[in-house]
Structure 1
Amino acid sequence: MTGIRERLERWRAVQAWLAWQQHQVEQTIRGLEAALTEEESRLPPLPPPDWKVEGIRTAAGRRALLVHVGICGMGKGKPINRDQARRMLAEGVDPCPYCSPDTSLGMPG
């Protein structure tokens, strides 16, 4: 019976040490996250893309809904370049009615 009690005490000591280690890891992660947040707050924001496309996910994949000028606040989207924006508009993707990327691209509306 004594052997079992000693083994149990050793395993409880291991458990306590692991709990201490877990606490140390969590503190270190919190400190690094705070440092990263502080560092990122000092970086200048990235410039907006020139153009972006807003889409939805469907069973067949993604479907483009609207093309936006990059600074448009009416839709979130994936950055695209000028040629991609022109091609999407020519293929029938609607232009945002607020930022009018078709006008900015010199395309007939």
Structure 2
Amino acid sequence: MFDDLPPDLARLRTLRVWHALWLHRIDAKIARLERRKAEEEHGRRRRPKPAEWVVEVGIGAGKPPVQVHNGACHMIGSRRRPISRDEARRLLADGLRACTHCQSDAELHIVDLAQS
């Protein structure tokens, strides 16, 4: 049945060593991939919850607030800090601009104060 193997002991031992080396390499690769997958899953579980509200801040001393966004807005700039819902409402009520894309003022039920 399996007559395609070499007939002598020396070559059979060589093949066995070669296959054992490959098996070791394959097992090591499987272990690395399983470890990476476990680390990624651990990272996904431990990832902090995204901020519900974000204020975009400007450049300069004190980094003044520029615009209020909801946490999922794709237009948030790179200079930002998370804020609470109450702080977002306060900033909008104090006259800070709301993002025109995510319309954080409408989402926070802040009516247009300029028309009052």
Q: In structure 2, what is the equivalent of residue 95 of structure 1?
A: 98
Deviations 1:10-37 (A, max 9, x none): xxxxxxxxxxxxxxxxxxxxxxxxxxxx
Could you say which structure has the higher strand fraction? 1
Aligned 1:1-109 pairs, distance under 5 A: 41-42=40-41, 43-44=43-44, 45-59=47-61, 61-76=62-77, 77-109=80-112
Give the 3 Å change call, closer, same or farther, for CA 66–40 of structure 1 in structure 2: farther
Aligned equivalents of 1:95, 1:40: Cα separation in 2 = 38
Structure 2: gaps (5+ residues): 1-35
Q: Which runs of 5+ in 1 are unaligned?
A: 1-37
Question: In the superposition, relative to structure 1, how do residues 83 and 40 fare at CA in structure 2: closer, same or farther (>3 Å)?
Answer: farther
What are the superposed Cα offsets for residues 4-59 of structure 1, whole Å, 9 maximum, x if unpaired? xxxxxxxxxxxxxxxxxxxxxxxxxxxxxxxxxx5764411433211000011323
Question: Does the residue aligned with 2:63 lie in a helix, a strand or coil?
Answer: strand
Between the two proteins, what is the percent identity of the paired residues?
37
Measured after TM superposition, the shift of residue 79 of structure 1 is 0.6
RMSD of equivalent CA atoms:
1.8
SS in 1 for 2:86: helix
| TM-score normalized by the length of structure 2 | 0.55
Could you tell me which amino acid in structure 1 is paired with residue 50 of structure 2? P
CA positional deviation for 1:73: 1.2
Q: Which residue of 2 aligns with 1:25?
A: none
Paired AA for residue 64 in structure 2: R
